[in-house]
Amino acid sequence: MRAKQPEVCMVGLGYIGLPTAAVIARSGMNVLGVDITQKVVDTINRGEIHIEEVDLDALVQAVVRSGNLKASTQVAPADVFVIAVPTPFEKDGHHTPDISYVLAATREVAKVLKPGDTVILESTSPVGTTEAMRDAIAAERPDLRLPGIAARPEIAIAYCPERVLPGKILEELIHNDRSIGGITPHCAEQAAAFYQRFVRGECVVTDARSAEMTKLVENAYRDVNIAFANELSIVADAMGMDVWEVIKLANRHPRVNILQPGPGVGGHCIAVDPWFIVHGAREQTPLIQTARGVNDGKIRHVIAQASALIDAAPGEKVACLGLAFKANIDDFRESPARLVSATLARKYGARIHVVEPHTEELPIEYGGTGATKLDLETALATCGVLIVLVDHDAFKAVPLARRIGKMVYDTRGIWPDQPKAIEAAEDLRRSA
Ligand code: SAJ
């Protein structure tokens, strides 16, 4: 006979919590999704979604209709609790991780815990957070025997970071391997048994601190490698070279794989998580801190290069292509593209036009600048200066014939056939 399916309570229904809750529900378990925002809860209970993610709308509709997913503002008793709430920075200007949402969610969960339950944290967190959760449960529920501090623990507590890529979340939730760190080996085994019910990737068990560090290391690794590419692009600009050509050739070496330069690093993970390592080891992280500086510095470099181009083409209309933090998504939070074009809008006002197929309206900071939104066709027909900030497929598809005679600054390297814009600007200046 098949063992009874556990009842699951997912706390936090954001970019990770909602897709995860839906995938768990699809596997046949009953999931109560909890969010503090009533509007989010109401939206999900109607079978609708409040975030954009490929195929998520149909999945949520199906699991709400089948009764496997319900949403509420209140935590309720379950067998497995999964916490996926934000871990932002504190407002102290020092990139200090703020785990107060994790601890608040933990205290709510603690109130309904019973012996035999499993509590899992998925939020990206500084090392030691899973133990801090355990201590928060201990303070709330002195009646329970907890792992690491009592013999024969009654509750399993583990850390299992998400590592899914926005735009491919539903696919990666199932197929990626998972690192599952328990406060004790038994905790890890309990949590792994839960994930094995819906994950096809391997569930690799470890201790909680190693799993916490692993998540931070993955994103810091990427940040450091993107910083290398961004630094090369700044060197190439100074030396009048084509960085894309150099990277393409270098990557033919069997042990070299340089990432792609861009206008800086965006999103809520790669530009944030390295600081969680730095916070715990400031003296030991010169490389990680420098990489953050290089990637943030790239945004300023792009603003300066774009300004030089715009100044070299007085009277020309300027199209800034893209607002999203990466290609083919509608997520504009922490986006370098948005920061660049908003800065240019404040500087050049009505000359600036923003092209972004994934939105109807410009974000609030463009208000009062005079900058306007244009569709791609009109921008190509009317703007003499094109600044590529996002590698959306729609932009990549623009043929050379539509770009001939334009001054182009391509921060993503999507148009390798384009005559060099900065050189073109210098030619223009020389001939004036
Ligand atoms: N970027 C570059 N050059 C590159 C690759 C990326 O400039 O060669 C830029 C992108 O344009 C974007 C930023 O980096 O602005 C981040 O994009 P991304 O696609 O590399 O990553 P995210 O932030 O969407 O998702 C990352 C992933 N982490 C890793 O690949 C190590 C994902 O697996 C994590 O789950 C996610 O962070 C997270 O939630 O932590």
Write out pLDDT tens, residues 138-155.
Answer: 999 999 999 999 999 999
Residue 422 has pLDDT above 60, yes or no: no
Kindly give the distance from the C-alpha atom of residue 362 to the centroid of ligand 1, in angstroms, as a whole number: 24
Residue 1 has pLDDT above 70, yes or no: no
Q: Which of 335, 357, 318 is closest to 262 using CA atoms?
A: 335
| Pocket lining: 326 vs ligand 1, CB cutoff 6 Å | yes
pLDDT confidence tier of residue 427, bands split at 50, 70 and 90: low
Kindly give the distance from the C-alpha atom of residue 269 to the centroid of ligand 1, in angstroms, as a whole number: 7
Residue 414 has pLDDT above 80, yes or no: yes
Residue 302 has pLDDT above 90, yes or no: yes
pLDDT confidence tier of residue 52, bands split at 50, 70 and 90: confident
Write out pLDDT tens, residues 334-389.
Answer: 999 999 999 999 999 999 999 999 999 999 999 999 999 999 999 999 999 999 99
Q: What is the predicted pLDDT for the residue at 167?
A: 87
| Pocket lining: 270 vs ligand 1, CB cutoff 6 Å | yes
What is the token pair recorded at 140?
């709330």
pLDDT confidence tier of residue 425, bands split at 50, 70 and 90: low
Residue 112 has pLDDT above 90, yes or no: yes
Write out the CATH class of domain 241-431: alpha beta
- Number of the ligand 1 atom closest to the C-alpha atom of 163: 35
| Pocket lining: 86 vs ligand 1, CB cutoff 6 Å | no
Query: Which residue type, as a one-letter code, is found at position 172?
Result: E
Average pLDDT, the chain: 95
Q: What is the predicted pLDDT for the residue at 69?
A: 98
Catalytic, 187? Answer no
Kindly give the distance from the C-alpha atom of residue 146 to the centroid of ligand 1, in angstroms, as a whole number: 36
Half-sphere exposure of 56 (CA within 13 A, CB side): 25
Instruction: State percent of the chain over pLDDT 70.
Output: 96
Write out pLDDT tens, residues 26-39.
Answer: 999 999 999 999 99
Catalytic residue of the set 160, 203, 269, 383: 269
Q: Which of 216, 177, 208 is closest to 190 using CA atoms?
A: 208
Q: Which residue's alpha carbon is nearest to atom 27 within ligand 1?
A: 165
Residue 96 has pLDDT above 60, yes or no: yes
Write out pLDDT tens, residues 308-328.
Answer: 999 999 999 999 999 999 999
pLDDT confidence tier of residue 2, bands split at 50, 70 and 90: low
Alpha-carbon span 46 to 30, nearest angstrom: 17
Q: Which long-range contacts (CB under 8 A, 24 or more apart) does 360-363 make?
A: 362/323, 363/323, 363/332, 363/338
The domains spanning 8-217 and 241-431 adopt the same CATH topology = yes
**What fold is seen in the domain 8-217?**
Rossmann fold (3.40.50)
- Domain limits, the chain: 8-217, 241-431
Write out pLDDT tens, residues 157-201.
Answer: 999 999 999 889 999 999 999 999 999 999 999 999 999 999 999
Question: pTM of this prediction?
Answer: 0.94
Write out pLDDT tens, residues 61-84.
Answer: 999 999 999 999 999 999 999 999
| Pocket lining: 232 vs ligand 1, CB cutoff 6 Å | no
Given a contact cutoff of 8 angstroms between Cβ atoms, the answer to whether 111 and 104 are in contact is no
Q: What is the predicted pLDDT for the residue at 330?
A: 86
Alpha-carbon span 34 to 11, nearest angstrom: 5
Average pLDDT over residues 83-108: 96
Kindly give the distance from the C-alpha atom of residue 396 to the centroid of ligand 1, in angstroms, as a whole number: 20
Residue 94 has pLDDT above 60, yes or no: yes
Residue 405 has pLDDT above 80, yes or no: yes
Alpha-carbon span 65 to 356, nearest angstrom: 34
| Pocket lining: 32 vs ligand 1, CB cutoff 6 Å | no
Q: What is the predicted pLDDT for the residue at 298?
A: 98
Q: What is the predicted pLDDT for the residue at 428?
A: 52
| Pocket lining: 22 vs ligand 1, CB cutoff 6 Å | no
Q: Which residue from 215, 219, 302, 321 has its CB within 8 A of the most atoms of ligand 1, so it is best to mutate?
A: 219
Kindly give the distance from the C-alpha atom of residue 317 to the centroid of ligand 1, in angstroms, as a whole number: 32
Q: What is the predicted pLDDT for the residue at 423?
A: 55
Catalytic, 160? Answer no
- Number of the ligand 1 atom closest to the C-alpha atom of 16: 39
Residue 141 to residues 11, 105, 214, 290, 357: CA-CA distances in angstroms? 19, 14, 30, 43, 51
